[in-house]
Amino acid sequence: MPLPPLNGLRAFETAARTGSYVAAARELNVSPSAISRLVKLLEQRVGVALFVRRANGLILTEAGTQYLAELTAAFGRIARATERLKAKGPEALVVGAGPTLAMRWLIPRLPAFHAAHQGVDVRLSTAIAGAEPMRPDWQAAIRIGEGAWPGLQADFLFTADLFPVCAPGLAARLTGPEGLGRVTLLAAANAPDDWPLWLKAAGLDGTLDLRRALKFDYPAFALQAALDGLGVAIAAGPYVADDLAAGRLVRPFALSVPNGRGWWFLHRQGAEPNPALSAFREWVLAAAGAAQVTSRLTA
């Protein structure tokens, strides 16, 4: 027999259980209007009113009350079945990381972790967590900051020192930092302070018009443009460690400028012992140590 849309069922069950569209929206990470629309579509589909809408909240109809009890029990059975299924397969570990670090440092190294820990399923999330360093559905995260997050254990990985990089052919045309005014600068919109910080340390503060820089949403795109020879990008060490080691990118100038922050491996304090988390933590700390050695050799 055809079933109503699962999104509508989930929206109704959550709204009925929490008592409001706003609370349901917060739990399901959507807008209250989306919850309202899904519930109305569900009511149209089943042909029964599930809520009486009042200015001060929602009241379940008799049919809604009965439906809620059935749905809550059904979702509970699905959740338990999923947990049993997961217990039979590889142990899953959800790790959050920024898009550029994930793309340019973590993902290229994950095959080595999987080869050594075949019983652990690492699921990488690059969703932006906003002001929160750790989303509820993550068991661990790699975040940039100063190392102090209440309720979280933070292990230092590596610094976020900044320096320009470009393709070898372009680097040959740069005789000194002042030559940056004759090439295209590549910048990331979400890191607007990186170029000004380095230029100030190089004694070029205010001498280059950064409004003319070619801007991208994330550093990953600016670095790809640098690889393609479009210009000079400002990079944090881990982002370009592999490209520097392989000679795909070079540092045209020796100056490296710290920005006062670093990358840290985070997990919740007081969490139950998790063999998957312990294995990944040990591995990522070792990988970060190796990356720092490589960075010193390519500086």
The pLDDT assigned to 135 comes to 83
In a shared domain, residues 171 and 242: yes
Q: Which residue has the tokens 């920005």?
A: 259
**DSSP letter, residue 61:** -
Q: How many helices (H) and strands (E) does the chain have?
A: 11, 11
Residues 70 and 95 in one domain: no
Assess if residue 137 is contained within a domain: yes
Checking if the pLDDT of 165 tops 50, the result is yes
Say whether both 43 and 65 belong to one domain: yes
Neighbours of 82 (CB within 10 A): 10
pLDDT confidence band for 293 (50 / 70 / 90): very low
Please give the residue range of the domain that contains residue 104.
89-160+261-298
Query: Do both 224 and 171 map to the same domain?
Result: yes
Q: Give residue 87's pLDDT band: very low, low, confident or very high (50, 70, 90).
A: low
d(CA 190, CA 255): 23
Is 37 domain-assigned? Answer: yes
- Whether the per-residue pLDDT at 156 is higher than 60: the answer is yes
User: Which two three-digit tokens encode residue 214?
Assistant: 């070619």
Q: Of 26, 60, 87, which residue sits at a domain end?
A: 87
For the stretch 33-75, pLDDT in tens is 999 999 999 999 999 999 998 877 789 999 999 999 999 888 8
233-261: pLDDT as tens digits: 999 988 999 999 999 999 999 999 988 88
Number of domains making up the chain? 3
Average pLDDT over residues 191-206: 91
Residue 186, beta-bridge partner list: 214, 233
Residue 252 lies in a domain: no
Count of C-beta atoms within a 10 Å radius of residue 253: 17
Give, for 98, the enclosing helix (H) or strand (E).
none
Q: Tell me, yes or no, whether 99 lies in a domain.
A: yes
142: nearest Cα among 47, 62, 63, 239: 239
Share of the chain above pLDDT 70, in %: 92
Identify the band that residue 190 occupies on the pLDDT scale cut at 50, 70 and 90: confident
Structure tokens at 297: 């050799």
The residue-averaged pLDDT of 167-192 equals 92
* CATH number of the domain within which 208 lies: 3.40.190.10
Mean pLDDT of 18-23: 89
* pTM tops 0.85: no
Q: What share of the chain is helix, strand, coil (3-state, %, to 5)?
A: 50, 20, 30
Q: 146 and 167: one domain?
A: no
- Asked if 229 and 235 count as a contact pair (C-beta separation under 8 A), the reply is no
Q: Give the residue among 233, 232, 227, 223 at the shortest CA–CA distance from 247.
A: 227
235 DSSP β-pair partners: 163
The residues that bridge with 263 in the sheet, in sequence order, are 144, 158
Per-residue model confidence as pLDDT tens digits over 135-146: 888 889 999 888
Q: Among residues 24, 283, 268, which one has the least CA distance to residue 135?
A: 268
Domain endpoint, select from 87, 102, 137: 87
Q: Is residue 51 part of a domain?
A: yes
Q: CATH number of the domain that 35 lies in?
A: 1.10.10.10
Task: Give yes or no: residues 67 and 199 share one domain.
Answer: no
Cα of 183 vs its chain's centroid, Å: 32
